[in-house]
Chains A and B, each alone.
Chain A
Amino acid sequence: GAVVSQHPSWVICKSGTSVKIECRSLDFQATTMFWYRQFPKQSLMLMATSNEGSKATYEQGVEKDKFLINHASLTLSTLTVTSAHPEDSSFYICALPGTSLSEQYFGPGTRLTVT
């Protein structure tokens, strides 16, 4: 399956600041990447689908102006949490599709804590 990296693995920021999370595909070119959020003891929820060279597709209820996604190359997608608040504290995970969109390979995740 796909090899995915994320950076940083853990970040603490103050309320009102912005944080950028990087997701990289290490072994193939990905035209599509997925961004998920996981709150403690809850399952993964898809936030948005990142498309190389075009706008991301956001899930219902996810604020596109708050969670900015940039998929500028076939190996890199970034998620920027703008004006972060404590309720944005969560585990953010990106994923790449395998041979089908249903077969997804996840990165190691980024733990965001907003104080």
Chain B
Amino acid sequence: QKEVEQDPGPLSVPEGAIVSLNCTYSNSAFQYFMWYRQYSRKGPELLMYTYSSGNKEDGRFTAQVDKSSKYISLFIRDSQPSDSATYLCAMSEYGNKLVFGAGTILRVKS
């Protein structure tokens, strides 16, 4: 079993839809949770960075962490074609290396 599980998709939605992206993990010591967006042939871009459980909102993006269920989510409201990319979840223990999910390919159709 992988430490971090993420459905690879692709996930295809119409423009304006609410997108839900998820990851599950097995290591209860993870405390830091990140979401990255990666366009084709580019480096990942940090979207959201959260510590421990709870919600964090930034514009159209909302990150949720449920440590009791070992489950994290990223919601994208009013999705745009420019949101089409691969979304990677990542997590770490304090001061330790990042462990990445495999990434979910999102396609937003206009």
Contacts and interface: CB of A to CB of B under 8 A. Distances in A.
Interface of A: 1, 4, 6, 34, 41-46, 49, 59, 91, 93, 95, 98, 100-109, 111
Interface residues of B, number: 22
Contact of A106 (B8, B32, B44): B44
A101 B95 contact: yes
B41 A93 contact: no
B42 A109 contact: yes
Nearest to A103: B49
Chain A CB within 10 Å, residue with most, of B41, B92, B97: B97
Contacts of B103: 43
A52 to B, nearest CB: 18
B41 A109 contact: yes
B63 interface: no
Interface in B27-84: 32, 34, 36, 41-46, 49
A44 B88 contact: yes
Given A43-B102, A104-B98, A109 B92 contact: no
A43 B34 contact: no
Contacts of A59: 97
B46 A104 contact: yes
Contacts of A4: 43
A102 B43 contact: no
